[in-house]
Amino acid sequence: MNNNMMQMQREAKYKSVRASLIMILVASVINIFSIAFADSYFLFSSYFTTLLAALGATLYVETGFMALFVVFALLALVSLVPYLLCFIFSKKHPGWMIAALVLFSLDTLLLLLDFVAALLIGDFSMLIDMAFHVYAIVCLAIAVKHGLAAKKAPAPEAAPAAPLITADGEVAAADADAADEATLVARIIVIQRKKGYVGCAVALRCYLDGVQVGELKNGAKLELTTSSSAHELMLMTPAGDAATATVSAGDEGHCYTVSMKMGMTATKLILEETTSTAQ
């Protein structure tokens, strides 16, 4: 896999896992009001924010003063501002994801103290809360890993002179001479995506030599007209899970099938070369 493809994969994974931070924010904001008015809460949220909202709701019930709940609800919202800043600035600066990871780790430590105290009296009701917090920390840690890796990666390589001649006749070439040469030695690469339930609603992005050349929906087929030189083929999910293959040089065409399977921590793409495409 060339540097361009690796960089695209890291950035896609970072963008996907970074979304977990906004999920924490949204769930935490909803909790502030759902605790008071529906006596329920979302698990994938800030525990400190939940405690503030619960305290405000308790004081309101005990005293009858709505102002007390409003004060604690505002404090709960303010406590989420650092997470919001981390989400906004982490788009271009992965270091902010480290700050988010530290903040949520401290929040998890607070939950852990209450969790241990509950276990000592035989109360296991917070077990699911703890599991979700651990999962959120793993997501944020993965985002930090891919974000820092993408930042430290070398500068992208120059795009190949003539990576593709599309079915519509468009040529991604540096100049007309390269395009004419590619046209003279054109060959077909066919990619068939097998139908399946895993990821059926997700379109796979298809890249050739680091250039996106199309998308594959569930059960769809993509035909690419390329030059006879060697190419790097990559299929990638929006979450950054990818499979690659090297298309050897020559005038003959190539056929591939791609399928998706669930893994323990990520979706697994299986890209195989075949003699003919599946129907």
Q: What is the pLDDT of residues 75-94, one digit of tens each?
A: 999 999 999 999 999 888 88
Share of the chain above pLDDT 90, in %: 23
Secondary structure of residue 227 in the 3-state scheme: coil
Model pLDDT for residues 146-205, shown as the tens digit of each residue: 788 777 655 545 444 445 554 444 444 444 444 454 444 678 889 999 988 888 888 998
Secondary structure of residue 145 in the 3-state scheme: helix
* Residue 192, number of CB atoms within 10 A of its CB: 21
Residue 29 tokens read as 């904001």
Which DSSP state fits 271?
E
For residue 69, give the H/E element and its range.
helix 66-79
Which DSSP state fits 123?
-
Domains of the chain, start order: 3-152 (no CATH), 164-274 (2.60.40.10)
**Residue 38 or 170, more confident:** 38
**Residue 162 or 244, more confident:** 244
Among 98, 99, 105, residue whose Cα is nearest residue 137: 105
Residue 203 tokens read as 């379109």
In which order are the strands placed within the sheet that holds 254-262? 171-172, 164-165, 221-226, 187-193, 254-262, 267-274
- What pairs with residue 266 in β-bridges? none
Model pLDDT for residues 59-73, shown as the tens digit of each residue: 888 888 889 889 999
Residues 6+ apart with CB under 8 A from 222: 190, 191, 193, 206, 213, 214, 215, 216
Put residue 210 in one of left, alpha, beta given phi > 0 → left and psi -120 to 50 → alpha. left
pLDDT band per the 50, 70, 90 thresholds, residue 112: very high
**Residue 170 or 141, more confident:** 141
